[in-house]
Amino acid sequence: MAGEGNGIETLATVKVEKSGDLYKIVDSLNRTLKDRDLMFGLALDEQEDNKMVFTIYKT
């Protein structure tokens, strides 16, 4: 899947159980792997209140 013309490509998306500390892992991944053109995102799922969506991007 390609990004919206901004040079960002979605590599993978997965739904996971909602967790208060999950953002810490995403932050650590972003800090550690930014020099490898990878970016990680975390968002609340719009359909399921107890789920979050974790996404890996190539920049």
- Looking at the predicted structure, is the pLDDT value of residue 1 above 60? no
pLDDT in tens, 15-34: 999 999 999 999 999 999 99
Mean pLDDT of the chain: 93
In a domain, 53, yes or no: yes
Helix, strand, or coil (residue 5): coil
The verdict on residue 2 lying in a domain is no
33 to 6, 11, 24, 44: CA distances (angstroms)? 20, 14, 14, 23
Asked if the structure places residue 46 within a domain, the reply is: yes
Q: Check if the beta carbon of residue 22 is closer than 8 Å to that of residue 8.
A: no
Percent helix, strand and coil across the chain, each rounded to 5? Answer: 25, 40, 35
- The count of structural domains within the chain is 1
